[in-house]
Amino acid sequence: MIYAHVVNHVEELRDTMKDFEINSSVNIDEILTKATAKAECRMKENVEKFLAAEHPESASPIEIEIQVLEGYAAQAILRTAEKENADLIVMSSRTHGAIGQLLGSTTNKVMHHGKFPVLVIPYYD
């Protein structure tokens, strides 16, 4: 099982800064490294909490691989699913108001542009 999170594509920001000749002391590579490390840490905590709740007295029957991907979310998810021969993509989607659930754009793109079954789990703040 792969637990993935996508960090936004920073190449665009780098290119935009260059295009507009913005001289900045911002180190985009450093920002990406910090964002990736923070995401990995948070994901490991989530996995540990989940496994402790689901398998409190024994080892987990599944191995969970954590991957932090860089790029456009839907593309990165579909590319990884293709590379890993995924059987199923499980995603959360935020709910929007009392009107009902609307799929987020990333979830929608993954569902409509991929060849993989997608299970959508509602996410409530």
CA angle 66, 75, 6 (to 5 degrees): 35
Q: Which fold has domain 72-125?
A: Rossmann fold (3.40.50)
Q: Which has more confidence, 20 or 41?
A: 41
CA angle 110, 80, 27 (to 5 degrees): 100
The CA R_g of the chain, rounded to the nearest whole Å, is: 17
Say if residue 33's pLDDT is above 70.
yes
Say if residue 13's pLDDT is above 80.
no
> Which residues pair with residue 4 across a beta bridge?
67
Say if residue 21's pLDDT is above 70.
no
Tally the C-alpha atoms within 13 A of residue 56's C-alpha that lie toward its C-beta: 1
Domain residues of the chain, as ranges? 1-71, 72-125
Q: In this predicted model, what pLDDT tens digit does every residue of 37-81 receive, in sequence order? A: 999 999 999 998 988 888 888 777 788 899 999 888 999 999 999
Q: How large is the average pLDDT for residues 92-120?
A: 77
Percent of the chain predicted with pLDDT > 70: 75
- In terms of Cα–Cα distance, which of 97, 88, 96, 75 is closest to 120? 88
Say if residue 12's pLDDT is above 60.
yes
